[in-house]
Amino acid sequence: MNDPVKLQLVSARMLTGSVRELVFAATGGAALSGYAPGAHFKFQLPVGERCYSLIDFEPRASDAGHYRFAVLLEADGSGGSKHMHGLEPGDEVEILGPVNEFPLQPSKPALLIAGGIGVTPIISMATAHKAAGTAFRFHYACRTEAAMAYRAELEAAFGDQLTLHFDDRAEMALDLAGLMQSCGSEEHIYVCGPKGMIEAVKRAADAAGIAGTRVHFELFTTAAEQAGDEAFEVEVKSTGEVFVVPAGKTIIDVLEEGGVDLVYDCQRGDCGICQTDVIDGVPDHRDVVLSDSEKAEGKVMQICVSRAKSARLVLDL
Ligand code: FES
């Protein structure tokens, strides 16, 4: 990956009661690197690394001079979104990237599905397909109208290709089974949103006989603590060391603090890079990478988000 780049916040505005748009330029006016739709940057924040996807309402010009992001304030989060909401124009941040684990197939028709703040990379995909004249359908779901960011901009940009859904209005519910049935044989499906939405899309696509290679997804949550989370032990097979993973910390957090060398990326449970073999114990899977049968087998797990149902896990590390 490239060296870190320093950005300066040039403008910010609230899009909804809890979503803030932030526009950055390179500190000192340096040129910014390009990226493809679906890409994100890794912000190096005082609370740790956080990933935010890039938003383009216009086809990306090489000299655009700015990067645009939108961040949902997560009241129960670990502080990343709070930091981003507290930045003032002129403040600097360091980023790494761009990284793109959610690339758009440029010449294939697309069914784009966004849930809540997961709309950010989907906007850039819709913009790219519109500019290229490639067919796309854009479905955007939110809990309420008030929670929906960029509604007016999206309606102006994408017109009839955009369909809005609100959880509190039954007549506007997202009919995933119907959408999947209506998919053309060449159409690729892209979904970005919360875990429940991604799992529902994967299940609906599977039921409609759509190959997994045509379903692309990115999860928009971090390893949030859940009610009832308890501490458990992790044994590193190669050294025999045992670590305690408390509630509120991930296996990666604890093992890295203990000096174990790990490979990982998204830390949200959607890229599969941190997948680790389980030698003993029962994982509590919280990712969207594994199939239901792989989860039931319990032979591998994503150690960035998943935890344990047993008192101890022995991992092949
Ligand atoms: S780091 Fe991406 S799934 Fe764990």
pLDDT at residue number 65: 85
Distance from the alpha carbon of residue 290 to the mean position of ligand 1, in angstroms: 11
Nearest alpha carbon, ligand 1 atom 3 = 269
Look up residue 245 and give its two tokens: 């993973």
pLDDT in tens, 275-311: 999 999 999 999 888 988 999 999 999 999 999 999 9
Q: Is the CB of 273 under 6 A from ligand 1?
A: yes
Centroid of ligand 1 to alpha carbon of 306 (angstroms)? 10
Pick the CATH number of 110-219 from 3.40.50.300, 3.90.1580.10, 3.40.50.80, 3.10.20.30: 3.40.50.80
Question: How confident is the model at residue 60, as a pLDDT?
Answer: 77
Residue corresponding to tokens 């086809």: 59
CA distances from 247 to 46, 152, 170, 202 (A): 21, 41, 37, 29
Which CATH number fits the domain 5-99, given the four candidates 2.40.30.10, 3.40.309.10, 2.40.100.10, 2.40.128.260?
A: 2.40.30.10
- The answer to whether residues 212 and 293 touch, using CB atoms and an 8 Å cutoff, is no
Q: Tell me, what's the pLDDT at 171?
A: 86
Distance between CA atoms of 37 and 67, rounded to whole angstroms?
13
Confidence of residue 92 (pLDDT cuts 50, 70, 90): very high
Query: From ligand 1's centre to the CA of 284, what distance in Å?
Result: 15
- 142-155 b/e (C-beta count within 10 Å ≥ 16 → b): beeeebbbbbeebe
Ligand 1 proximity of 269 Cβ (cutoff 6 Å): yes
| Ligand 1 pocket member 306 (CB < 6 A) | no
Q: pLDDT-based confidence at 316, cuts 50/70/90?
A: very high
DSSP label at 174? -
Question: How many whole angstroms separate alpha carbon 94 and alpha carbon 158?
Answer: 33
Average pLDDT over residues 4-29: 93
Do the beta carbons of residue 315 and residue 278 sit within 8 Å? yes
- CATH value of 232-315 in 3.10.20.30, 3.30.70.270, 3.40.50.180, 3.40.630.10: 3.10.20.30
Predicted structure pTM score: 0.81
Nearest 5°: CA angle at 220, between 218 and 223? 110
Q: Strand 40-45 and strand 48-53: pairing?
A: antiparallel
Between the CA of residue 96 and those of 36, 43, 92, what are the distances in Å? 15, 7, 14
For residue 266, pLDDT over 90 is answered with no
Spacing, Cα 305 to ligand 1 middle (Å): 8
**pLDDT score, position 221:** 64
Nearest ligand 1 atom to alpha carbon 303: 4
Compute the distance from residue 252 Cα to the ligand 1 centre, in Å.
Answer: 10
Q: Is the pLDDT of residue 186 over 60?
A: yes
Choosing from 49, 274, 290, 307 the residue with most ligand 1 atoms within 8 A of its CB, the one to mutate for a pocket test is 274
pLDDT of residue 78: 67
Question: Is the CB of 262 within 6 Å of ligand 1?
Answer: no
Q: Which amino acid is at 113?
A: I
Q: Write down the pLDDT at residue 59.
A: 86
Q: State the amino acid at position 215 in one-letter form.
A: V
**Ligand 1 neighbourhood includes 287 CB (under 6 angstroms):** yes
The predicted model gives 121-129 an average pLDDT of 97
Q: Residue ranges per domain, the chain?
A: 5-99, 110-219, 232-315
Q: What are phi and psi of 109, to 5 degrees?
A: -60, 150
**CA–CA distance, 36 with 99 (Å, rounded to integer):** 9
Rounded to whole angstroms, how far apart are CA atoms 52 and 99?
Answer: 10
Which has the closest alpha carbon to 186: 100, 105, 123, 129? 105
What the block records as the tokens of 103 is 């690339």
**What is the DSSP secondary structure assignment for residue 299, as one 8-state letter?**
S
The beta strands (E) that lie in 158-311 are given as: 162-166, 188-193, 215-219, 232-236, 242-245, 275-280, 283-284, 300-302, 307-308
Cα 253 to Cα 141: distance, rounded to the nearest angstrom: 32
